[in-house]
Chains A and B, each alone.
Chain A
Amino acid sequence: MTTSAKKPLSMQLTSMLLSVWNLIKRIPPVYPVFVVIMIGVSQLNPNFATANGILLFLRRSSPLAILAMGQMFVLATGGFDLSQGSLVTLTVIGSSLIIYNNESAGYTAILIMLGIGIIVGLVNGFVVSFLKVPSLIATLGMLLLIKGGGLYWTGGAPKGYLTENWRFFGRGYIENIPVIGRFPSAVIILLIVGVIMSILFYKTNLGKQILAIGDNARASQLSGIKVKRVRMVAFLISSILAVVAGVLIGGYGGTSIVAGDGLEMQSVSAAVIGGALLLGGRGSLIGAVFGALTLEAIFSLLNLLGLPKPFRDAVQGLIIIGAVAYASITSRRRD
């Protein structure tokens, strides 16, 4: 294709715009959106832009970010995990109960909860892979099982309280750090989880296989991938991370029977904003984290603008619709 030196200006402009659009399509929208919002927030609240302000923001956002990472693993396989929220609640009220009965059992409680999380993940995986129940229904059923089971076990009202050592993870600080002074342990946990999940997703076969089965389960199977096993692991990860998030939430906010309400929807939203495709095959761990951060940043922004809490729901709704609509326009997933 030869280009003459005198192409009409309109054509040049159009082709320039097209290539810019192509470039834009490649950038996951969550990053620029996040930056814009952060700038907005720091304009309204100068304290936000300080190291301390950012750390506090990260601490608030850690639980959702961790949930979103777990959800992303499941979304990438083409499924949903709706049981995350109720698992969070269970972690909080269950630990309360265990500690109520035995004050020194703080860490034991966490271990027990992790054990329960593993069982939940395995059951979810089993029901979806072997009983062939669609993940939407399977994890919905699990949500009810956990919710009912948890409330039954604790008698419906949070008994007891959560001890300091248990709550440390969610609201404690690590002292005497050079330059910064104190660093929230929640953020450290976020970083640790983030690193582990990144390694799993980007550097082990697991991550590649998860994307593979979400992209094309049949081709994956014919290439030797044990689809059922990979799915199970994805659910396992999602549940374990839900427990971790629960520890952080309980630490920060204390015991409550509505600790986890609605969180699974938020984590799906965060993961989708971050670029996960609902039918699987695409997912970005970092995107999920930023999706969560973006959501939390938006909530902060709304707060600062003086808009009451309810509006954050409305805005969240608009955002997730917008995010997925945008993804539909730019995505090339064939149906």
Chain B
Amino acid sequence: MTLEVKTNNAPLMEVRNIDKSFPGVKALDDVSVKFYPGEVNAVVGENGAGKSTLMKVMVGAYKQDRGTIHFQEENVSFNHPIDAQKMGISIIYQEFNLLPERTVAQNIFLGREPSTFGVVNVRQLNKQARSVLKEIGVDTMISPTALINSLSVAEQQLVEIAKAISMDAKVLIMDEPTASLTSTEVQLLSDLISRLKEKGLAIIFISHRLAEVFEVAEKITVLKDGQYVGTAKTEEVTPEDIVYMMVGRVLDHYFPPLGSPEDFGDVVLRVEDGSNEFLSSINLELRKGEVLGISGLQGSGRTELAQALFGAEPFKSGSVELQSKTVSIKNPSWAIKQGLGFVTEDRKSEGLLLMQPIRDNILLALRSLQPLFGWIHPDGIRQSRKLVPTLGEQVDIRVDSYSKEVQDLSGGNQQKVVLSKWLASKAEIFIFDEPTRGIDVESKASVHDLIRELTIQGVAVIMISSELPEIIGMSDRIIVMRDGTIGGELPAESSEADIMLVATGQDNSNSAEPS
């Protein structure tokens, strides 16, 4: 099937020299990209490359620090996402913006219901919804009067697309649209995208799945570390080329030395054939004193693995052994008693008590191990008073008072607070999920040194990260997740490309089927 690519000379939408920073992190650095009508341009890059941020700037959810946005060759600026929508720039986020208890038609036209004197013309509403659905060819699948929560994920996505079309979208941005779709649904989406292209829309498609990207997109734009690497025509490159464009960078700091085989002790954790609704056939071993890196694309099941190990979303089948004893980790309390600690991916929503002082955050897990009505200074006030600053210094928290509320700290300091929480509970198995996400370079180095320190003292570490340099710099062994199971295991100091190839399924002859 040949795709007619209409190449105009003028881009429909363009961003020039976009800079965007957040505290401690420069998310976009002088990014300039052109998007043409009638084309699908896939934007790829690792997690943290800046794809989401760029999209949010383009739809008015963020305001850029520097640079200009051009739409239909005019310089535009947005104060509110609805400005962009009205202009014809629509985005479909991974978590849909749909009201589950309302119908398809009601969702599509929320705020723009056809009405006379305030009374909604329901027939008109449904009719318009039907015609939009027909325009994208799904009127036979989805009824305008269906409730959103009766639709499958794929169908909901179609409703989001219909919504965008109903607002006369000329630029349609889709963030990881195929993440939760079956292969049949992906094909349907692909057909729909072709139809939209024929109408002259510029479609921007963020995805990690190179196989799909190559099927659907005419152009591929690569971002890396907030910078624009380049745009290639799909027919002129191979997936490996793209992978090489996505990785390969100058290290901004040096990692502590990796462990050597004699540093590793007995197996402290073993999982055999662990499965639950998110994971299948998990087999792994963790030894004392080692850092086991877990890599993989977003959605490959890394966090779910951590949650299973920690008892937040336990395994439903298979066996888990802790210190050679078969156990069943049913909830976090129990896991913590056994000496596990979990530094979660999202520290603000899962790791910290933002309104409480640093001190109480640090002592949180330790206190959960102590009796409910127990004294908060079980070893005496003097010991207690020393514990927090001691831990704080150990992780290098830079703050003048431990009574400060955690929400006032920088990302780096916040992460260190989370770390010290598990030091306080004397965890012997640490699970880190994105340990250095969103923190400044100096704190990153601190955290890495600390992790290695822990292993020298005999702690076993599992480290999940989407930052390849971090995986390579820190792991004594690397496991690569893919689609809920283990795609492969690689030795220390494997290359970024090696890892990405396993992660994207390019290493096998059979590309992985989304479940």
Nearest Cβ in chain B — how far from A79, in angstroms? 17
Q: Which of B23-31, B202-210, B369-377 touches A?
A: B369-377
Cα A209 to Cα B336 in complex, Å, equals: 16
Size category of the A interface is 20 to 34
Any B CB within 8 A of the CB of A182: no
Shortest Cβ gap from A88 to chain B (Å): 26
- In chain A, residues 204-239, which have Cβ atoms closer than 8 Å to a Cβ of chain B? 204-209, 211-212, 215-216, 218-226, 229-230, 233
B residues less than 8 Å from A212 (CB atoms)? 353, 356, 360, 364
- Which of B336, B344, B372 contacts A229 (CB under 8 A)? B372
B128 beta carbon closer than 8 Å to chain A? no
Does the CB pair A226–B376 fall under 8 Å?
Answer: no
* A205–B354 CB distance below 8 A: no
A211 / chain B contacts, CB cutoff of 8 Å: 353, 356, 360
Chain A residue numbers with a CB within 8 Å of B164 are none
Which single member of A204, A230, A332, A333 contacts B376 (CB below 8 Å)?
A204
Among B351, B375, B377, the residue within 8 A (CB) of A222 is B351
A132 at the interface (CB under 8 A from B): no
Within 8 Å of chain B (Cβ to Cβ): is A281?
yes
Q: How far is the CA of A233 from the CA of B372 in the complex (A)?
A: 10
CB-CB nearest in chain B for A212? B353
Q: B365 near A: Cβ within 8 Å?
A: yes
State A225–B407 Cα separation when bound (angstroms): 21
Residue A334, interface by CB 8 Å: yes
Q: Which residues of B contact A204 (CB under 8 A)?
A: 372-376
| Cα(A150)–Cα(B169), bound, Å | 64
Closest chain B CB from A236 CB (angstroms):
12
CB-CB < 8 A to A206: which residues of B? 372-373
* Distance A221 CA – B374 CA, assembled complex (angstroms): 19
In the complex, are the beta carbons of A223 and B354 less than 8 A apart?
Answer: no
Docked-complex contact B368 and A224, CB < 8 angstroms: yes
Q: Is the CB of B332 within 8 A of A224?
A: yes
A203-B376 contact in complex given A222-B332, A223-B364, C-beta closer than 8 Å: yes
Complex CA gap A203/B360 in Å reads 12
State A208–B350 Cα separation when bound (angstroms).
17
**B352 contacts the other chain (Cβ, under 8 Å)?**
yes
State whether A200 and B369 are in contact (beta carbons under 8 Å apart), knowing that A215-B355, A216-B352, A226-B333 are contacts in the complex.
no
| Docked complex: A298-333 residues within 8 A CB-CB of B | 332-333
Taking CB atoms, residues of chain A closer than 8 Å to B335 are 224
* B366 CB → nearest A CB, Å: 9
**How many residue pairs bridge A and B at CB < 8 Å?**
95
Residue of B nearest to A218 (CB): B350
Distance from A282 Cβ to chain B, minimum over Cβ atoms (Å)? 6
**Smallest CB-CB separation from B365: which chain A residue?**
A223
Which B residues between 401 and 430 are near A, CB-CB below 8 angstroms?
407, 421, 425
Q: Which of B375, B376, B377 has the most CB of A within 10 A?
A: B376
Contact B363 A208 (CB under 8 A): yes
- How distant is A49 from chain B, measured CB to nearest CB, in Å? 36
Q: Does B63 contact A (CB under 8 A)?
A: no
* A200, chain B: closest CB distance, angstroms: 7
Which residue of chain B is the closest to A230 with respect to CB atoms? B372
Which residues in B have their C-beta under 8 angstroms from that of A229? 372
Cβ distance A330 to chain B, nearest Cβ, rounded Å: 13
A-side contacts of B377, CB under 8 Å: 203
With known contacts A212-B360, A212-B364, A219-B349, A282–B332 Cβ distance under 8 A:
no
Query: In the complex, what's the smallest C-beta–C-beta distance from A168 to chain B, in angstroms?
Result: 30
Contacts of A205 in B (CB 8 A): 367-368, 370-374, 376
Contact residues in B for A220 (Cβ distance below 8 Å): 353, 364
With a cutoff of 8 Å between Cβ atoms, the chain B residues found around residue A282 in the complex are 355
**Which chain B residues lie closer than 8 Å to A334 at the CB level?**
354, 407
Choice from A203, A207, A225, A233 contacting B368 with Cβ under 8 Å? A225
Closest chain A residue to B331, Cβ basis = A221
Query: Does B179 count as interface, using CB distance less than 8 angstroms?
Result: no
Q: How far is the CA of A220 from the CA of B367 in the complex (A)?
A: 11
Closest residue on chain B to residue A203 by CB atoms = B376
B232 within 8 A of A: no
In the complex, A222→B350 CA distance in Å?
A: 7
Q: Check A223 against B336 for contact (C-beta < 8 Å).
A: yes
B189 at the interface (CB under 8 A from A): no
A207 closest partner in B (C-beta): B376
In the assembled complex, the CB of B92 is this many whole angstroms from the nearest CB of chain A, namely: 25
Interface status of B432 (Cβ within 8 A of chain A): no
A216-B353, A281-B355 known; A221 vs B332 contact (CB < 8 Å): yes
Contacts of B350 in A (CB 8 A): 216, 218-219, 222
CB pair A219 B353 closer than 8 Å: yes
Please give, as numbers and ranges, the residues of chain A lying within 8 Å of B372 by CB-CB distance: 204-206, 209, 229-230, 233
In the complex, the answer to whether A216 meets B354 with C-beta atoms within 8 Å is: yes
> With A216-B352, A218-B350, A281-B356 in contact, is A223–B373 under 8 Å at CB?
no
28 sampled A-B residue pairs with Cβ under 8 A: A203-B376, A204-B375, A205-B367, A205-B370, A205-B372, A205-B376, A206-B372, A208-B363, A208-B376, A211-B353, A211-B360, A215-B353, A215-B354, A215-B356, A216-B353, A216-B354, A219-B349, A219-B351, A219-B364, A222-B310, A222-B351, A223-B336, A224-B333, A224-B365, A229-B372, A281-B356, A282-B355, A332-B355
Known: A216-B349, A333-B355. 4 other contacts (CB 8 A): A209-B372, A215-B356, A219-B350, A332-B355
Binding site for A on B (CB under 8 A): 310, 312, 332-333, 335-337, 342, 344, 349-356, 360, 363-365, 367-377, 407, 421, 425
6 tightest A-B CB contacts, nearest first: A224-B368, A224-B336, A215-B353, A223-B365, A223-B364, A281-B355
